[in-house]
Structure 1
């Protein structure tokens, strides 16, 4: 008696072909997601570095500009917001608030030549400037990886594999609405002693 392996062979061949198409795509999605996570860790690393520098910067300014409490309070509040942000979008909004508060601080510093001449303050400002540059690079790298990952998730057959295994598009690190406008500074309330 002859046995027919035709239907079973066809099914096995179909499974093999599907596996050959889907396994590499799954692995590329895993790799791309790991790349995104790695780049995000670098963004968080630079955000943490800036987060850690700010108290020292604020303390330096306090010694020279005790009456500039509003600016110091806004930095403290923005730093707290940054510390409690979780998602890339929340961190982007908190980052924008902190950047605005720091820019207001820099305007205040212009009123205190002795502070600008202080070696510790200059060192902190140099470290902050370096951190801001590294943060900009880290955000760009992160967004580039997100773009690559999202392409994998959206394109065929990646969209099928992504849907089957729960891969979802990642959020970009975007600036908040209105972040392209310079913060307004009111010099009329600043009567600092020079």
Structure 2
């Protein structure tokens, strides 16, 4: 009788362990899937950022023909573009890394401010404002900015889903055990000063 009771207790114990292991595997796999969704969402942003980074040197070269004496403004745009490009490379390698995402957001904010200052300078030069190449580049840049905004929203949604899953009990035990850290969110890169800066309109 004791042996039978012991055997039943062992069976119940093994079943409980098996259920716990299955649950842990399911929770782990769900977190991996959600983290991969963040990487996929960043890939969509990355395509637009690359396009934007490619447009900026052309914009600066076009402006340079008219406002070479504004060298400091032009150099600031290129420096900010290079910094943002490098930050995007880091996020590409680790899209769920909150530190890398935060550095990208800061670099993009700096780039946005530099571009805003360049556009304010352009406003003061009618010949530059009327340049066909600058007009086309400006339209492409605006279109790209809109695509970045949509892609950023998808990225933030994916990061929120992952953070919610990783932070909810009891899944938080699995995330802590296996090192699933909270993902960073990309904030809008348009500052208040940029919103008030003159826009180039043709």
Report the CA distance between 1:92 and its aligned residue: 0.7
With the length of structure 1 as denominator, give the TM-score of the two structures: 0.85
Question: What is residue 162 of structure 2 aligned with on the other side?
Answer: 149
Which ranges of structure 2 fall in alignment gaps of 5 or more residues? 91-99, 198-202
Report the CA distance between 1:96 and its aligned residue: 0.7
Q: Distance in 2 between matches of 1:15 and 1:60?
A: 68
Q: Structure 1 residues 118, 182: CA separation in 2 closer, same or farther (over 3 Å shift)?
A: closer
Report the CA distance between 1:102 and its aligned residue: 0.6
Report the CA distance between 1:148 and its aligned residue: 1.0
Q: Distance in 2 between matches of 1:175 and 1:114?
A: 32
Q: Distance in 1 between matches of 2:181 and 2:140?
A: 36
Q: Distance in 1 between matches of 2:39 and 2:187?
A: 16
Q: CA RMSD in A?
A: 2.3
**Segments of 4+ moved more than 6 angstroms:** none
With the length of structure 2 as denominator, give the TM-score of the two structures: 0.81
Indicate yes or no: 2:40 matched with 1:38: yes
8 Å Cα contact 1:32/1:148 also seen in 2:
yes
Q: How many residues align?
A: 183
Structure number having the greater helix percentage? 2
Which ranges of structure 1 fall in alignment gaps of 5 or more residues? 186-194
Indicate yes or no: 2:158 matched with 1:131: no
Q: Distance in 2 between matches of 1:115 and 1:179?
A: 25
Report the CA distance between 1:3 and its aligned residue: 6.0
